[in-house]
Amino acid sequence: MVESGLSLMTDLEKMTFKRLSLVAILTGVLALAIYVHPAFAGAAEGLEIIGQPKNWAFGFQPHASPVKLQMEEFHNHLLVPIITGTSLFVLALLIWVVVRYNRHVNPNPSRTTHNTMLEVVWTVVPVIILVLLIVPSMKLLYTADRTQNAEMTLNIKGYQWYWGYEYPDHGGVNFLANLVSEEDLKKNNDPRPRLLATDNPIVLPVDTNIRLLITAADVLHAFAVPAFGVKLDAVPGHTNETWVRIDKEGTYYGQCSELCGANHGFMPIEVNAVSKERFAQWIHAQGGKMPEEIAAEKRAATPAVDKAAGTNLLEPVKNAGEAHAAGTADPTANAKSDKKDAVEGAAKDAAKKKAGAK
């Protein structure tokens, strides 16, 4: 009975070892595939950039901005090798312990409790890994924070449960964007994806540094568009800033990424990235104006204002000059007039005195 029990335990240990070995092999193959093959990272060369989730895809959506490209490089070229190497190393240690120190191979286990060199190594090595990570990660955070050379601004405000947008540099164009229901999509034969399409998509120009100012009107929200590498909280009473520069024309989707109430999952973001020419046409269609047009109007209005102001300033001087000219045009005539007035005044005084004497 005891021998059969031991035999069963031995068989179970062999099966466990085989399973662990198979898991280790599959894990290594999958990790290598994700790291090497671009399809697993969600970025296949030559495909049209459409920023939306794909069925059975691994990794990130295709990048559509310089910041997202840096994020992918940081992930694929630094994080994945470190994570994969660490995971395989720990898995190898576990397998080695199972094989080398099971009770059949090593019936008398060591009672060692401390090893100074081992403890130093497992403290120093993680510190070195963190130092290697902190420099590129801080550089990436600084790059994604804001742009010093913004060419336009988009104000974004989160509501329960929709988004509001404003273009302050383009005559104050503004609108609200709500989810398009699945029924409406089917009724209109709209090919856009369910739960992501909106009735008023954002329209932005490509190859433009765009400042994003994000806030909320009621509760916490989060504006997130994965293809841009943008994900930032929208906080009531506070404005957060980030930026984006879209590389390619196309349609990109995102969603609110902060639990904000009952309809949190029905608060999509749709962005149409177009050429600068088409963006100008869209702005005009919305009743807005391009910044250069607004600047030209201001320049045209400024000389007229200055001219009017200059005329008003010169008016008192002109009046004073006319008065002075009137007073000094003929000094002889002025003297004669003064003498005549004096004679007439003396005559009147003499007449009054004579009438009083009588």
HSE (CB half, 13 Å, CA atoms) of 41? 22
Per-residue confidence band for 308, with pLDDT thresholds at 50, 70 and 90: low
| pLDDT tens per residue, range 254-276 | 999 999 999 999 999 999 999 99
Checking if the pLDDT of 5 tops 50, the result is no
| pLDDT tens per residue, range 234-248 | 999 999 999 999 999
pLDDT attached to residue 57: 81
Q: Which two structure tokens, joined as six digits, stand for 135?
A: 């420099």
Nearest to 169 by CA among 295, 301, 298, 297: 295
Q: Worst-scoring range by mean pLDDT, 22-36, 219-233, 297-311?
A: 22-36
In the numeric block, the tokens 């995102």 are attached to: 254
pLDDT attached to residue 1: 46
**Distances from the Cα of 234 to the Cαs of 19, 147, 222, 245, in angstroms?**
47, 19, 5, 20
Q: Which fold has domain 152-293?
A: Immunoglobulin-like (2.60.40)
Per-residue confidence band for 307, with pLDDT thresholds at 50, 70 and 90: low
Per-residue confidence band for 321, with pLDDT thresholds at 50, 70 and 90: low
Nearest to 62 by CA among 46, 43, 45, 39: 43
Q: H or E element: which one contains 126?
A: helix 116-145
In the numeric block, the tokens 């007439």 are attached to: 344
> Across residues 83-105, what is the average pLDDT?
91
Q: Please state, for a pLDDT cut of 70, what percent of the chain lies above it.
A: 71
**Distances from the Cα of 74 to the Cαs of 84, 131, 132, 138, 290, in angstroms?**
14, 14, 12, 11, 37
Question: Across-strand partners of 156?
Answer: 165, 214
Per-residue confidence band for 12, with pLDDT thresholds at 50, 70 and 90: very low
The answer to whether 201 and 171 have CB atoms below 8 angstroms apart is: no
Per DSSP, helices labelled H in the chain are: 2-36, 66-74, 80-100, 116-145, 182-187, 276-285, 291-328, 331-357
Checking if the pLDDT of 304 tops 60, the result is no
> Across residues 90-105, what is the average pLDDT?
90
- Spatial neighbors of 168 by CB under 8 A, at least 6 apart, are 153, 155
Highest-confidence segment of 21-30, 184-193, 318-327: 184-193
Checking if the pLDDT of 335 tops 70, the result is no
User: What's this model's pTM, rounded to 2 decimal places?
Assistant: 0.69
- Residue 159: strand, helix, or coil: strand
- Residue 18: strand, helix, or coil: helix
Checking if the pLDDT of 350 tops 90, the result is no
DSSP 104: T
